[in-house]
Amino acid sequence: MDKILRINMSAADKPEIKVDVLGDYAGLGGRGLTSAIISKEVPPLCHPLGADNKLVIAPGLLSGTAAAMSGRISVGCKSPLTGGIKEANAGGQAAQVLARLGYAAIVLEGKPENDNLYKILINKDGVQITEDNALKMTGNYDTVDRMKSEYGDKVACISIGQAGEMKLGSASIAFTNMEFRPTRHAGRGGVGAVMGSKGVKVIVIDDSGMKMRSPKDPEKFKQANKLFVQGLMKHPVTGEGLPAYGTNVLTNVVNEAGGFPTKNFKSGRFDGAPKISGEALAEMEKERGANPTHGCHRGCVIRCSGIFHDKQGNYLTKQPEYETVWSHGANCGIDDLDAIAMLDRLDDDFGVDTIEMGATIGVAMDAGLADFGDAEAAINLVKEVGKGSPLGRILGSGAGVTGRVFGVERVPVVKNQSMPAYDPRAVQGMGVTYATSTMGADHTAGYSVTANLLGVGGTVDPLSPKGQIELSRNLQIATAAIDSTGMCLFIAFAILDQEETFNAMVEMINAFTGLSMTGDDVTELGKKVLKMEREFNRQAGFTEKDDRLPEYFLKESLPPHNVTFDVSDDELDSVFNF
């Protein structure tokens, strides 16, 4: 994994392929690598859909190895949604496959002059780029089916749906899972629009004939991995809650805590929560012969993903994630899991971020386009995105644009990106992360739910501003480091609570690379990544004024606790004091 594949889509006759050495980027992976390339090579004031932006797809440092949980892949660019730097990451098969092919990153550069659509095949023999205009405006499901018929089902696909081709702000990039379904998405920030602007519909990667990456010290690596897995298995969140109910185990927890944003962030508790909870979902999946405990990529031991069958017992979509259940459920007043699953399926197929899409439908409901609770209307609105109608394009552009177009004041965005499933008034640590993250409102950037609600990594009162800055800061630093390893962020539950599991992770990196990193080095890596990202944003015109929640979170109190967001601006401005 010591080379970078660069594909210049601007080249005159056809895209130009170049295989580059890692050079200055040696030692970086995942988010560390995507953010380094974007910081160094992309002009911060360029148009996100222009030739100067780049799309970087990078597996993590440990991807393609036998390390458990190492199958995350990072996608970086200047975001069309936020205008700042973006890293969105996903599970699925691609990280392992790409890493085994020896690529630390794929970089799509330039922009074609014509409007041809391309597919790219990467295998042990090299790279092939082919025009394939028959793929125009196909959904992700159709696209990967076509790729399967051409290349068999041992490959992995990275694709965009109609939304990416239309270059919409909520467009995602889909990654196939173990069953060759396009269900794992680099969802946030419109990364799919950047892929669309490069004219690339699908990247097919095939690691046939390639081996697993081997560690410097195989025995030490094997031992560390074993301890690491044991640690994950014994922690109640990663060993019990997530496997049994998936991420949707959180619905009851967050709703109970009064932080489950309901009807476009008007309440923190949703009457319909029990009907859409992880417990209800797992029960339904079992009844219908689906599978609630399933890994999204090879090497996953937590297995928080799952399969959702429709009423007839046929595959419909993956088990909707907690944030999707929230966005299309509580946030739209919808308490029907079948409707939520259908929305998830449509989102995956059209290639849009489920968080942005659900938040957008909530804003559209406030604008009077549909009633809260009307599942059929919500489905019809999302279908407009696939059609590419003017209404669909508005909605597919995200909550910020939808608010502008329909004159809605209450729009839950930071840096124009929608807030996810935790109300910042009732989970104030998340408010700090939403406000200050380099990514715009993003729960994964510093998941303060840990100490705020779950008692993981300590306890911090979720309703008080006290202690939230330090909590969010430390989590943002740790996350930036984990996102660079290719490890699934969910390992954080165990490594925050169990020192030996954290040590096993560091030991695994050292045994693999031959380095002798300490815990402090991991922290330093996280800080370095955040500083790069923040500097990019500064050069793109962001100031501390962009590190603020919309004013209504400071003024409107949220039932049932009747709280406002109380962390002061000065405190917010201290998050990056390190």
Q: Which residues bind a second copy (CB under 8 A)?
A: 43-47, 49-50, 52, 80, 166-169, 193, 196-197, 389-391, 393-394, 397, 401, 404-407, 409, 539-543, 545-546, 548, 550-552
DSSP state of 213: P
CA distance 171 to 348: 10
Q: Cβ 393 to a second copy, closest distance in Å?
A: 5
193 or 378: CB nearest a second copy: 193
Q: Kindly give the interhelix angle for 468-485 and 519-539, rounded to the nearest 10 degrees.
A: 100
434: helix, strand or coil: helix
Q: Which is nearer to a second copy, 93 or 170 (CB)?
A: 170
CB of 485 to a second copy, least distance (A): 33
Helix (H, G, I), strand (E, B) or coil at 159: strand
Closest approach of a second copy to the CB of residue 179, in Å: 32
Instruction: Using alpha carbons, select from 203, 13, 6 the residue that is nearest to residue 112.
Output: 13
In whole angstroms, the minimum distance from the beta carbon of 546 to a second copy comes to 6
CB of 196 to a second copy, least distance (A): 7
Distance in Å from the first CA to the final CA of the chain = 32
What is the residue type of 2? D
Distance of closest approach, residue 197 Cβ to a second copy, in angstroms: 7
> 570 Cβ partners below 8 Å, 6+ apart?
none
Q: Which is nearer to a second copy, 214 or 389 (CB)?
A: 389
Amino acid in the structure at residue 151: Y
Cβ nearer to a second copy, comparing 77 with 478:
77
Q: Smallest gap, in angstroms, from Cβ of residue 4 to a second copy?
A: 25
Residue found by looking up tokens 């988010």 in the block = 31
The dihedral through the CA atoms of 123, 67, 475, 553 has a sign that is positive
Would you state the structure tokens that stand for residue 469, as one six-digit string? 């800055």
Nearest approach in angstroms of CB 170 to a second copy is: 11
Nearer to a second copy, 44 or 278 (CB): 44
Closest separation in Å from C-beta 225 to a second copy = 44
133, 159, 163, 476 from 115: Cα distances, Å: 9, 17, 16, 39
Minimum CB separation of residue 441 from a second copy in Å reads: 16
Structure tokens belonging to residue 533: 């990202």
Tokens representing 33 are 């690598």
DSSP 60-126: -TTTTSS-TT---EEEEEE-TTTSSEEEEEE-SSHHHHHHHTTEEEEEEES--SS---EEEEEETTE
> Is the CB of 211 or the CB of 545 nearer to a second copy?
545
The residues near 135 (Cβ < 8 Å, ≥ 6 apart) are 117, 119, 143, 146, 201, 202
- The residue (of 47 and 561) whose beta carbon lies closer to a second copy is 47
CB 470 within 8 A of CB 61: no
- Residue among 302 and 414 whose Cβ is closer to a second copy: 414
Given the complex with a second copy, which of 245 and 536 has the nearer CB atom? 536
Choose between 389 and 557: whose C-beta lies nearer to a second copy.
389
C-alpha span between 373 and 9 (Å, rounded): 44
Rg, C-alpha atoms of the chain: 22
Instruction: Report how far residue 93's alpha carbon sits from residue 305's, in angstroms, rounded to the nearest whole number.
Output: 13
How far apart are alpha carbons 138 and 274 in whole angstroms?
A: 36
- Decide whether 32 or 44 has the Cβ nearer to a second copy: 44
Shortest separation between residue 354's beta carbon and a second copy, angstroms: 20
